[in-house]
Amino acid sequence: MRLDPDQPHPTPTAPPARALGLSVLAVGVVTAAVAIALLLQVAITVPAPGAGSTPAAAARAPGTGGSISGSGPGGLIAAPIGSISGASSGPSPAPFASTFGSAAGASASGAPAGPSPAAPAPASGPGVAASTSPAASAPPAPPGSFAQFNLPAPWVGGTSPWANVWVYTPAGYATSPGTRYPVLYEVPWGGDGWEAGIHVRERLDALIARGTLPPSLVVFVNQARGPYRPSECADSYDGREHFDSYVAQTVVPWVDARYRTIRAPLARTLIGFSQGGYCAPILLFHHPDVFGNAISFSGYYVAGIWSPETRSAYAPFGHDQALIAADSPMVLAGRLPDAVRQRLFLVLVGTPSEPFFGPQLTSFAQVLAADGYHDAVLDSPVGHSWAQVRTTLPAALAALTQHQQQAGLFGGASG
């Protein structure tokens, strides 16, 4: 049966690990190598006139178990590290040194009115990347903060006219008015589900302090209270729910209007587990002008698919075959223009030997490789569970940050 992140679940017996991709190493080696290329405490900072970038220290990400591989035309990093295939052999870009146009790809749209308290408007103008090493030069950072909001619900009916949104802000956000941040958008379980599943605030604090993840906002968009559970993050066939449109057209502008964000697709990442592992790539494919990346933990990639784990997934689609095709990442991946595919990046996490989720992972990874996407595939020895998310989150976020760095988010112009 489908795991409900609102409830704790026992960790299943780990099945044998099986590597995906062209080369395999232990993820403990991988994450260490990936994180060497990362910089600690990366932030996009609006400098005083004449200010420059600060040298960064290398960091080591914690090992997670399993293996990681990559596919796609450009690979993941600028120098091969063995376990990520397809890596470029060219020189590494200058880390976090050049100006980033913070208005590049910005959304100028406003946000809907709601019962949420106002926050300062984002600063304008370009930023220069700066970095410090808390491990080397400062005591452990204080914890980040969670805030909860209610937005007008993207549905008719359900149990409430309001939809819950949680926002995590990293330590230092309130005291760094000149700093802009990348944003991760979690769908569709909400902050309470992730807090119960992996103690997500504590985990984000630690990953940011280690330098595995740059200081970032994380927005948890909850499907609860709607007429469909699961919602499958869909605009339903009967018009009763429009969760897909709501995330891209309501939540993102609302966040950009109230927080100091980097308003570019490359800086926005969708992330999800189980049903959310389906939602993250389909929202990415539906809105590549809004989001640039997706991380899928133990997902499935065919809309409305029936299995013992997805007994109600068909409901929002009403057995409409055209709608099912348009909402299936496995199908839609090949329909996007080549230029769009080149801009997107996906991280897939799963256990290939596991029933249902394993074949879904393998098939979708093959589709992405054939269609020329930039991606990383992380093979976890832990099956479909919050334990899988907990143990592979560092490697998944390290791969994402490495891609964003190589693509110029923290050190050059980005569109």
CA distances from 42 to 38, 84, 124, 310, 404 (A): 9, 23, 19, 39, 11
**pLDDT above 80 (res 162):** yes
CA distances from 135 to 41, 132, 399 (A): 10, 9, 21
Contacts of 174 (CB under 8 A, 6+ apart): none
At 163, list the tokens.
């939809």
CATH number where 132 lies = 3.40.50.1820
Query: What percentage of the chain reaches a pLDDT higher than 90?
Result: 61
Contact at 8 Å (CB) between 15 and 354?
yes
Q: What is the mean pLDDT of residues 368-393?
A: 97
User: Is 111 among the domain residues?
Assistant: no
Q: Which tops the pLDDT comparison, 411 or 406? A: 406
Mean pLDDT is lowest, of 28-42, 141-155, 194-208, for 28-42
Contact at 8 Å (CB) between 35 and 59?
yes
pLDDT at 411: 73
Q: Which tops the pLDDT comparison, 9 or 302? A: 302
Q: Is the peptide bond before 230 cis (omega within 30 degrees of 0)?
A: yes
User: Is 38 among the domain residues?
Assistant: yes
Q: What is the mean pLDDT of residues 356-368?
A: 98
Contact at 8 Å (CB) between 322 and 314?
no
Half-sphere exposure (CA, 13 Å, Cβ side) for 301? 29
Burial of 191 (0-12, 13-18, 19+ CB in 10 A): buried
Q: What is the DSSP letter of 141?
A: P
Measured CA to CA, the distance from residue 274 to residue 402 in angstroms comes to 24
CA distances from 117 to 161, 258, 283, 370 (A): 18, 9, 27, 46
Query: What percentage of the chain reaches a pLDDT higher than 70?
Result: 65
Measured CA to CA, the distance from residue 283 to residue 292 in angstroms comes to 10
Q: What is the mean pLDDT of residues 291-307?
A: 96
Instruction: Tell me the sheet residues that pair with 375.
Output: 71, 346
Please tell me the total count of domains within the chain.
Answer: 1
User: Is 102 among the domain residues?
Assistant: no
At 121, list the tokens.
């408007």
pLDDT averaged over every residue in the chain: 74
pLDDT at 141: 56
pLDDT-derived band at 375 (thresholds 50, 70, 90) equals very high
Mean pLDDT is lowest, of 63-77, 330-344, 348-362, for 63-77
Q: What is the mean pLDDT of residues 370-388?
A: 97
pLDDT at 229: 84
CA distances from 254 to 114, 116, 119, 163, 394 (A): 10, 10, 11, 13, 28
Look at residues 197, 176, 248, 178 and name the one whose alpha carbon lies nearest to residue 219. Answer: 248
User: Is 258 among the domain residues?
Assistant: yes
Q: Which tops the pLDDT comparison, 182 or 76? A: 182
Q: What is the DSSP letter of 319?
A: T
**pLDDT above 90 (res 204):** yes
**pLDDT above 80 (res 19):** no
**pLDDT above 70 (res 52):** no
pLDDT-derived band at 87 (thresholds 50, 70, 90) equals very low
**pLDDT above 50 (res 235):** yes
Burial of 382 (0-12, 13-18, 19+ CB in 10 A): buried
User: Is 117 among the domain residues?
Assistant: no
Q: What is the mean pLDDT of residues 376-384?
A: 96
Q: Are strands 179-180 and 42-45 parallel, antiparallel or unpaired?
A: antiparallel
Tens digit of pLDDT for each residue in 97-151? 222 223 223 332 322 223 333 333 333 222 222 222 223 334 555 799 999 999 9
At 81, list the tokens.
């590290």
Measured distance between the N- and C-terminal CA atoms of the chain, rounded to whole angstroms: 42
**pLDDT above 50 (res 213):** yes
Q: Which tops the pLDDT comparison, 64 or 57? A: 64
User: Is 14 among the domain residues?
Assistant: no
Torsion angle in degrees (nearest 10) through CA of 19, 21, 25, 30 = -120
User: Is 10 among the domain residues?
Assistant: no
**Amino acid sitting at position 158:** G
pLDDT-derived band at 225 (thresholds 50, 70, 90) equals confident
Instruction: Tell me the sheet residues that pair with 272.
Output: 296
CA distances from 284 to 266, 279, 390 (A): 11, 8, 23
pLDDT at 70: 54
pLDDT-derived band at 6 (thresholds 50, 70, 90) equals very low
Contact at 8 Å (CB) between 74 and 90?
no
Q: Which tops the pLDDT comparison, 105 or 238? A: 238
User: Rg of the chain's alpha carbons, rounded to an integer?
Assistant: 20
Measured CA to CA, the distance from residue 361 to residue 356 in angstroms comes to 9
Q: The domain containing residue 202 runs over which residues? A: 27-48+57-93+128-406
User: Is 5 among the domain residues?
Assistant: no
* Cα-based angle 110, 115, 117 (whole degrees, multiple of 5): 75
Tens digit of pLDDT for each residue in 259-294? 999 999 999 999 999 999 999 999 999 999 999 999
Q: What is the mean pLDDT of residues 208-219?
A: 96
